[in-house]
Structure 1
Amino acid sequence: MRLSFLEPLYAERGPFTSVYLDTSRDTDDAERAIAQRWHRLREQLARQGADRASIAAAEEVVGADADVPGVHGQAIFTAHGTLVLDDELPAPPAHDVARYGTLPDAMPLVAQHLPEIPYLAVVVHYRGLPTADASGTVAVAAEAGRWPVSRVAPGERLLRRVPVSGWHGAAARLGHELDRWARRTGADTVVLGGDEWAGNVLFRRLPRALRERVVRVGGPAPAAAGRALLEPQVAGVLRGRMAAHDRALVETFLARRARGAGTAEGLAAGVAALQRGQVTALLLHPPRPWQPAEPLWTGPGPAQLALTEEELLSFGVRAPRRERADEALVRAVAGTGAELVVVPADEVPLRDGVGALLRYTDAATPGA
């Protein structure tokens, strides 16, 4: 997964306030509950030494996602009295959390973007009789998304309505349009729902390569404004999957590791590779939400990280700071143009829960 959505965050210098807040709108007293949660977090930030201007900047956007219905959350980052990043969370955080520190607490936001699978959702249904001379219409809704963020940030949507009598020809044209759309968005899967007859006509007229990625699901489920098309069906189809692009990176890592070249493993080796800008993709075991991570030492640059203060001092970094490893690793991945892939520990065992697919190797690369 590319971390380009974090670029605005790392374009700023800290210290940062990082806020994760449940902003669900699934109860009658939602606004009051959000205000109470924020009041507790605001007090936490004040006790941690956050400046008033940064707390106020966060407060201005707390609950500003009122147009997003249902269960969800909000991630807010501010620095020096300015809003840096405000992102919708597809699920509420396990606990409302506020932190003030030199680096932003970005790993929980990254975890909410996983597995970031690109897909198309398509719903077709008709009114009338499925015969060539029948009156009535076939309605089509299609949407591109990246799961699970599309739950609260739906993508581009296509709407079509055609006479039942012209559906066979229209379905062929629509099939090619969907194929081009899937290629452009890199969709791994097409989730097709709706009426059986109209759906069968479209399915048979899809180009073969796209047809092989189709998963048929139950009847139409109209999406609420601000929510993904076919949200529950898409969740069922994609649950437990990994994006095809990430899966390819994992397979490349495993093949190279078996050959003993082109990878690094373990925290020390991964950190060293990030220092040199060698990492194509950093593989991590799933983070333990809201648990403290072991520390690393960091400097102002994203590649300035090390296991010891002495190592950074030897690189000429003045006044290194001791930071959580997850915060330092995410910043290094984003800042060096690498990708992040989270893999289950039982599927891909990694020393220290860290592995790296390398762009290049040299004699100085430990663990390569």
Structure 2
Amino acid sequence: MVANNLAHNVKNTRLVEEICQHPGPFLSVYLDVRRDVEEAVHQLNVRWRSAREDLLRNGAPEDLVDLTGERIQAGHHAAGAAARMVVAADGRILLDDVVTAPGDHTALTWGPLPDLVAWLADRNTMLPLLVVLADREGADFERYDAWPETPEATADVHGDTEHMTKVLVGGWSHKRYQRRAENTWRHNAENVAAEIEHQVESGVRMVAVAGDLRAQGEIQHAVGERTRSLLVNLETGGRADGTSRQALDHAVDEAIRKVVAADQLEAVREFEQEAGRHGAAATGIDAVLPRLAQGQVRTAFIAPDAASARTIDPARYPGIVLPAGAAEHAGLRADLTVLCAAAMTGAEVQVGSWAMADDGISALLRW
């Protein structure tokens, strides 16, 4: 699995670990909060009223429900699609996160475990990204800790402009001007490549390069092999006036989807390869949970549709690490149990439509 994406997923899993260290019980709400549709505020109020009734009916304390509702209905800066994940327990908010690349799953639970699987699945698709808008003079940079949120940092490189454009001259000077222009383009691309190499050190998963085709080619030639493996050249976008930002964003979205799909396929292939080695992988709830109890799991795979339909009794798996209040419950959702147990033992968690086990739970092992 690509190292930068692994680090990104681990960062999200560590947030889960911090929440699962609380004893619970937990109130978990993951709802659509987009504000770019007609009557968005009214629609959100309707969704929340329905959610509130469900939570109260399931035994959630009214004061905690109302505290959560204040966060769900609060304003945010997301311009398009957005969902909000709020987890509360013991009279306070443990997590409040607006996700700008939500899928179609929601969460609405009051129980001994936080319901963070859908949120984690969406968060893990929001990759750290560098956008490079290039021309033959230089480039503008936008670095995102999680696309498509607002950029964490911006920068620009402006190179030489003298002799940048090939001039239509004749005689002995024609080749000299042409050579100077090409040398200038190449020098500017090298400056851009140096900045890309610097930005990649921050841990981006993908470098999306848009703009002048000649500049894209020069940049690709100038970066190192490792960085070149992260480059994706886009056919739209750039620094020129009148360039469509919307078209650029759509192109980046599509590139991100392809990278996420490729990473997931690589994860499946790694599991299949390791499953052929004795003791390197585990398939199914009854095989994975004892390994989690021993801290043996390196990566846990959760297929929510299958795993959320299964329940487990933690007493059957001595040593499993869960929030203190969860140990008393015999009917814990399998997906939430594995998520907390994996996060609290330092394992990575991958959420997707994995086909490794009928019950939706599998794992790669540390030893």
TM-score where L is the length of structure 2: 0.76
Q: How many angstroms apart in 2 are the aligned matches of 1:96 and 1:16?
A: 16
2:117–2:351: 8 Å Cα contact kept in structure 1? no
2:155 to 144, 155, 158: 158
Supply the distance in 2 between the matched residues of 1:24 and 1:277 (Cα, whole angstroms): 39
Is structure 2 residue 275 aligned with structure 1 residue 278?
no
Letter in 1 for 2:223: L
Question: What is residue 363 of structure 1 aligned with on the other side?
Answer: none
| C-alpha separation in 2, matches of 1:338 and 1:197 | 44
Give CA-to-partner distance per residue, 1:32-88, whole Å, 9 cap, x none: 222222122122212112112211221222233421111111111111221110112
Q: C-alpha distance in 1, partners of 2:248/2:155? A: 14
Structure 1 distance, partners of 2:156, 2:188, is: 13
Cα distance in 2 for residues equivalent to 1:93 and 1:46: 26
Give the stretch that moved more between structures: 235-244 or 30-39: 235-244
Report Cα offsets for 1:102-153 as digits up to 9, x if no partner.
111111111112345444221124xxxx6xxxxxx6551232444xxx2235
- Checking the alignment, whether the CA contact within 8 Å between 1:176 and 1:207 is kept in structure 2 is no
Unpaired runs of 5+ in structure 1?
131-136, 306-316, 361-368
**CA deviation string 1:161-220 (max 9, x = no partner):** 4553466434313312211322430x3432111233443443333234323432211222
Rounded Cα–Cα distance in structure 2 between residues aligned with 1:342 and 1:100:
21
Paired residues of 1:75 and 1:86 also in contact (CA < 8 A): yes
Partner of 1:255: 273
Deviations 1:8-55 (A, max 9, x none): 322322111111111112124222222222122122212112112211
Task: Map Cα deviations across residues 265-312 of structure 1 (whole Å, 9 max, x no partner).
Answer: 22101011111111111123x3229x952111237x99247xxxxxxx
Q: In angstroms, what is the RMSD of aligned CA positions?
A: 3.3
Q: 1:58 to 1:161 in 2, by over 3 A?
A: farther
- Aligned length in residues: 326
1:236 is matched with which residue?
Answer: 254
Q: Percent identity?
A: 26
Match of 2:348 among 314, 336, 339: 339
1:203 is aligned to 220
Find the counterpart in structure 2 of residue 365 from structure 1.
Answer: none
Asked whether the equivalents of residues 101 and 122 of structure 2 are also in contact (C-alpha less than 8 Å), the reply is yes
Q: Do the aligned residues in 2 keep the contact of 1:41 with 1:97 (CA within 8 Å)?
A: no
Change (3 A) 1:195 1:45: same
1:352 and 2:359 are equivalent in the alignment: yes
Contact persistence 2:300–2:348 (CA under 8 A): yes
More helix by percentage? 2
**Which 5+ residue runs of structure 2 have no aligned equivalent?**
1-8, 163-183, 240-244
How far did 1:98 drift? 2.2
Alignment correspondent of 2:62: 52
Residues 202-211 or 162-171, more deviating: 162-171
The code of the aligned residue for 1:158 comes to: A
> What is the rounded CA distance, in whole Å, between the counterparts of 2:141 and 2:247 in structure 1?
8
Counterpart position of 2:114: 104
For CA contacts below 8 A with separation 6 or more, give which structure has more relative contact order: 2
Identify if the C-alpha distance between structure 1 residues 7 and 274 changes in structure 2 by more than 3 Å, giving closer, same or farther.
Answer: closer
Correspondence 1:135-214 to 2 at 5 A: 138-146=138-146, 150-152=147-149, 154-162=151-159, 164-165=161-162, 168-185=186-203, 187-214=204-231
Partner residue in 2 for 1:215 = 232
Say if 1:17 and 1:100, in contact at 8 Å, map to a contact too.
yes
Q: Does residue 268 of structure 2 align to residue 268 of structure 1? A: no
Residues 88 and 153 in structure 1, CA contact (< 8 A), matched pair in contact too: no
Secondary structure, counterpart of 1:70 in structure 2: coil
> Residue 29 in 1 paired to residue 32 in 2?
no
User: Comparing both structures, which one devotes a greater share of its residues to strand?
Assistant: 1
Q: Cα–Cα, structure 1 residues 272 and 144, in superposed 2: closer, same or farther, change >3 Å?
A: same
Q: 1:171 to 1:94 in 2, by over 3 A?
A: same
Of stretches 100-109 and 258-267 in structure 1, the one that deviates more from structure 2 is 258-267
Q: Give the 3 Å change call, closer, same or farther, for CA 230–334 of structure 1 in structure 2.
A: farther
**Amino acid in the other structure paired with 2:19:** L
